[in-house]
């Protein structure tokens, strides 16, 4: 069958299945990736026999490279710099000893238990020190998870890949005899640590400057800003690779530059770009689940099982004492130390030497697959138990994004009942978790009496002229909100209450 048709069918199946089952699977507390590994097995040679994606498959190569590049980009573009400044001591421990010490322990175990060379063992150590954001998704979105573990895990999964990637690349250089020599190694080091990040940052800066100019002119539709962010990620990767640099670090550097320059684009990227990156990750899981990941079960032995167990628990062993010195005690420390699943991030990192033709790299992938399968079981069960235990006791949290009712204007709440102009609104019934909460007149007046009152913005799509603007509100075109906010010199720290009746 035509490889293009196979890839197209795989994309379609993953999008359909993800859309239909994601919510139900997460409500059960099960890891979503387990369902997609099962889907891959069903489509693979041991199931319906429709797909058999191997190491030599161009589809796997494209999917894995795109997935890793977009993961690094989306991780960088969604980093909360304010949280990093507030919790720098915690982040340093997570990305320093909390990441490098587990990688070192796994490297030692791979060398002694599996008799691998030091560079090959270092690749395994780095790949298996990476925590997986897709496996953690249901936990990170659960209101049962306290704020400190949530922020710590989100920042760790968003930043540890860029710490571990250079270890993988440098170990690959050591295993490739054709690039030995000071000139070849030096060129690769310059490409990895200088050329890639510099070109990525340049692409990100130029891209945002161009976007800002267009915003001040005809404007850019918000949905196209999401696509624009993806375009910057892919462009940064391609430019760096063509120049001999690291496309992956370029994608990360582009994301950091966008994060620093344009908060509005970052919020926009969350709505579409992050979902696209996650879809690619799930798609890659299905591709690997057809046959490749299951090869890990074929190498079971006392030595490989002992190594897999150590690789799964190494992070917990290291982080539990390390976090005690960060002032985190009790439940928060246990949650951060336990929730460190190995998943697609590990597989993507170890696929890099496979695609580069590094000797015996396929063996490293097989070992990594065994650890990932064990982690899916162990951490998946742990996450399911945690979510079910705290399901009823957790506080419900919701994003305030509905309608704000300014004085002298009327709005229609989610319930459909009208709020009289100038009157007070009765508190709306608590909506479902996926419905927006409303801000009543009393709540808005209470916020307005604070030190930093909110800005009321009229964002109605049916808005026709100035005479209809809500009393006391500014006007933001919902399709050109960034441009209008910039023109009005709004402070990015302001809270904006939206009137959208």
Is the same domain home to 365 and 423? no
What range does the domain containing 427 cover?
399-501
Encoded tokens for 501: 């009746």
**pLDDT score, position 461:** 62
Is the same domain home to 10 and 56? yes
Mark which of 350, 367, 390 sits at the end of a domain.
390
Is the same domain home to 133 and 219? yes
Q: Which residues pair with 497 in a beta bridge?
A: 456
Mark which of 390, 414, 443 sits at the end of a domain.
390
Is the same domain home to 255 and 337? yes
**pLDDT score, position 462:** 56
Neighbour-count burial for 161-175, b at 16+ CB within 10 Å, e otherwise: bbbbbbbbbbbbbbb
Residue 340 three-state SS: coil
Residue pair 61/229 in contact by the 8 Å Cβ criterion: no
Is the same domain home to 404 and 386? no
**pLDDT score, position 143:** 74
Residue pair 382/338 in contact by the 8 Å Cβ criterion: yes
**One pLDDT digit (tens) per residue for the chain, 501 residues:** 566 676 677 778 777 877 787 777 766 666 778 888 888 888 888 888 878 888 888 888 888 888 888 888 888 887 777 777 788 888 889 999 999 999 999 999 999 999 999 999 999 999 999 998 778 877 887 777 888 888 888 888 878 888 999 999 889 988 876 655 555 556 667 767 788 899 999 999 999 889 888 877 887 776 677 778 788 989 999 999 898 888 888 999 998 888 887 556 655 555 666 677 777 888 888 889 989 999 999 999 999 999 999 999 999 999 988 888 777 878 889 999 998 888 888 999 999 999 988 988 999 999 999 999 999 999 888 888 887 776 654 443 333 334 444 433 433 333 333 333 333 333 444 444 444 556 777 777 777 776 778 888 888 765 655 666 777 788 887 766 776 777 777 777 778 888 876
Is the same domain home to 328 and 435? no
Is the same domain home to 485 and 379? no
Residue 82 three-state SS: helix
Q: In what order do the strands lie in the sheet with 496-499?
A: 474-475, 455-458, 496-499
Residue pair 285/33 in contact by the 8 Å Cβ criterion: yes
Is the same domain home to 346 and 456? no
Is the same domain home to 412 and 366? no
Interhelix angle 147-175/58-77, nearest 10 degrees: 130
Is the same domain home to 420 and 376? no
Taking the C-alpha atoms of residue 6 and residue 14, their distance in angstroms, rounded to an integer, is: 12
Taking the C-alpha atoms of residue 110 and residue 302, their distance in angstroms, rounded to an integer, is: 13
Is the same domain home to 227 and 174? yes
CATH number for position 9 = 1.20.1530.20
**pLDDT score, position 235:** 95
Mark which of 390, 412, 440 sits at the end of a domain.
390
Number of compact structural domains in the chain: 2
Taking the C-alpha atoms of residue 497 and residue 458, their distance in angstroms, rounded to an integer, is: 9
Neighbour-count burial for 246-260, b at 16+ CB within 10 Å, e otherwise: bbbbbbbbbbbbbbb
Is the same domain home to 265 and 413? no
**pLDDT score, position 13:** 79
**pLDDT score, position 381:** 86
Residue pair 252/200 in contact by the 8 Å Cβ criterion: yes
């Amino acid at each position: 069958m035509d490889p293009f048709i196979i890839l197209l069918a795989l994309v379609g199946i993953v999008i359909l299945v993800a859309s239909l089952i994601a919510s139900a699977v997460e409500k059960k507390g099960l890891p979503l990736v387990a369902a997609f590994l099962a889907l891959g097995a069903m489509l693979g040679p041991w199931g319906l026999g429709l797909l058999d994606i191997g190491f030599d498959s161009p589809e796997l190569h494209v999917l894995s490279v795109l997935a890793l590049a977009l993961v690094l980009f989306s991780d960088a573009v969604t980093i909360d710099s304010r949280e990093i400044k507030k919790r720098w001591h915690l982040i340093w421990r997570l990305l320093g000893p909390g990441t490098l010490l587990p990688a070192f322990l796994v490297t030692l175990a791979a060398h002694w238990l599996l008799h691998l060379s030091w560079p090959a063992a270092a690749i395994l150590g780095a790949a298996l020190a990476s925590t997986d954001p897709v496996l953690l998704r249901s936990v990170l979105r659960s209101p049962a998870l306290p704020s400190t573990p949530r922020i710590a895990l989100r920042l760790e999964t968003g930043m540890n890949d860029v710490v571990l990637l250079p270890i993988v690349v440098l170990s690959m250089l050591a295993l490739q005899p054709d690039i030995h020599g000071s000139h070849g190694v030096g060129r690769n080091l310059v490409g990895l640590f200088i050329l890639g990040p510099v070109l990525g940052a340049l692409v990100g800066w130029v891209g945002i400057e161009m976007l800002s100019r267009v915003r001040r002119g005809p404007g850019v539709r918000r949905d196209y800003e999401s696509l624009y962010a993806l375009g910057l990620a892919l462009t940064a990767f391609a430019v760096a690779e063509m120049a001999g640099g690291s496309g992956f670090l370029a994608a990360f550097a582009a994301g950091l530059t966008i994060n620093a320059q344009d908060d509005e684009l970052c919020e926009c990227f969350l709505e579409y770009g992050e979902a696209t990156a996650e879809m690619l990750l799930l798609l890659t899981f299905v591709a690997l689940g057809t046959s490749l990941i299951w090869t890990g079960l074929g190498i079971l032995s006392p030595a490989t099982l002992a190594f897999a167990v150590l690789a799964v628990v190494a992070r917990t062993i290291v982080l539990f004492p390390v976090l005690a010195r960060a002032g985190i005690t009790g439940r928060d420390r246990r949650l951060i130390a336990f929730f460190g699943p190995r998943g697609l991030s590990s597989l993507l990192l170890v696929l890099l030497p496979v695609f580069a033709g590094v000797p015996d790299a396929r063996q490293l992938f097989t070992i990594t697959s065994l650890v990932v399968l064990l982690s899916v079981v162990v951490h998946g069960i742990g996450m399911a138990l945690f979510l079910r235990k705290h399901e009823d006791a957790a506080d419900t949290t919701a994003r305030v994004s509905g309608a704000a009712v300014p004085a002298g204007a009327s709005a229609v709440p989610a319930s459909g009942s009208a709020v009289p102009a100038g009157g007070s609104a009765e508190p709306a019934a608590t909506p479902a978790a996926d419905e927006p909460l409303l801000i009543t007149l009393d709540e808005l007046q209470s916020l307005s009496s604070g030190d930093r009152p909110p800005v009321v913005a009229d964002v109605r799509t049916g808005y026709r002229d100035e005479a209809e603007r809500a009393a006391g509100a500014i006007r933001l075109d919902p399709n050109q909100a960034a441009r209008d906010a910039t023109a009005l010199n709004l402070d990015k720290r302001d809270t904006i209450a939206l009137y959208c009746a």
